[in-house]
Amino acid sequence: MTDFDGLAAIVTGGASGIGRATAELLAARGARVAALDLNPDQVADPVVGIRCDVTDDASVRAAVAEAAERFGRLDIVINNAGIGAQGDVAANDDAQWAQVLDVNVIGMARVSRAALPHLRQSPAAAIVNTCSIAAWAGLPQRALYSASKGAVYGLTLAMAADHVREGIRVNAVAPGTVDTPWVGRLLDAAADPAAERAALQARQPSGRLVTADEVAHAVCYLASPLSGSTAGTVLAVDGGMYGLRLRPPS
Ligand SMILES: NC(=O)c1ccc[n+]([C@@H]2O[C@H](COP(=O)([O-])OP(=O)(O)OC[C@H]3O[C@@H](n4cnc5c(N)ncnc54)[C@H](O)[C@@H]3O)[C@@H](O)[C@H]2O)c1
């Protein structure tokens, strides 16, 4: 018997990186899991891949309905799909601002509102949003991305307040730099990938990047029925990046 036995979950962006690790861990801990992603073909058993574009309301509604019908219920929503952006506040045009906010923020609203009627039927309903250290700390050249994750932070608290009394817990994780395909693409694009990786590692007090599995464990902690009194929490999974101020190595 494991904590997610009998429960059903959807994970947006579940075909790669943090979402994939989370979907696989939820399944290993007993949940039936659907990964809602642009690339459902990259999802492997026992996780079910369902095509979904979180910027398209009809696509979201169809995917959530398909998962709920397939499992006969829906208890857990992991709002994880996200995209990045680089540059200062002047670097991105209006179309890029609209696109990133559409995926990273409005996408969470679309998925959550489609899932809420199902979650209200669940005895163990939970939503976990993927926020970021970028919501809390000023990172250079990440203006648009940070704005989107700051919005996720506020949205998480507002959703938690709205739904706690109907038994739906809402929380978020705030990862530091995680070693996922996304970060791999960023490193590949750098002039000196090894130096860029070393700089990202050095920025973390732990001296290394966070792993997708470590974020998945934090997400599962927040989503678990064993965490029934945890609501409105944004849990850092960042190697100490937010809270710690170490002296430089001597
Ligand atoms: N990697 C990091 O360092 C890091 C740090 C903090 C927060 N995050 C957040 O974690 C989440 C996942 O990041 P990752 O590093 O695992 O990225 P990733 O690129 O490895 O995976 C993202 C997944 O989201 C999917 N996706 C993108 N747009 C979508 C859309 N419109 N509809 C449905 N699916 C879509 C992609 O197909 C992909 O499978 C994102 O919200 C990101 O902002 C990542």
Catalytic residue among 145, 153, 221, 242: 145
Q: Per-residue confidence at 189, pLDDT binned at 50, 70, 90?
A: very high
Reported pTM: 0.98
Q: How far is the CA of 130 from the centre of ligand 1 (A)?
A: 9
What is the domain partition of the chain in residue ranges?
8-175+210-237
What is the residue with the minimal CA distance to atom 8 of ligand 1? Answer: 132
Query: Is the torsion defined by CA of 38, 18, 63, 232 positive or negative?
Result: negative
Q: Give pLDDT, residue 249.
A: 78
Residue with tokens 């163990």: 124
Q: Which two tokens stand for residue 15?
A: 């075909």
Architecture of domain 8-175+210-237: 3-Layer(aba) Sandwich (3.40)
Instruction: Extract the runs of DSSP E, i.e. beta strands, from 90-237.
Output: 125-130, 168-175, 234-237
Q: Give pLDDT, residue 250.
A: 78
Residue 155 backbone dihedrals phi, psi, to 5 degrees:
-60, -40
Contact residues of ligand 1, CB 6 A cut-off: 12-13, 15-19, 37-39, 52-55, 80-83, 103, 130, 132, 175, 177-178, 180-183
Write out pLDDT tens, residues 14-39.
999 999 999 999 999 999 999 999 99
**Is the pLDDT score of 248 beyond 90?**
no
- Return the C-alpha torsion angle 4, 116, 13, 51, nearest 10: 110
* Site to substitute for ligand 1 among 10, 37, 41, 79, most atoms within 8 A of C-beta: 37
Cis, peptide link before residue 46, omega less than 30° from 0: yes
174 - beta bridge partners? Answer: 236
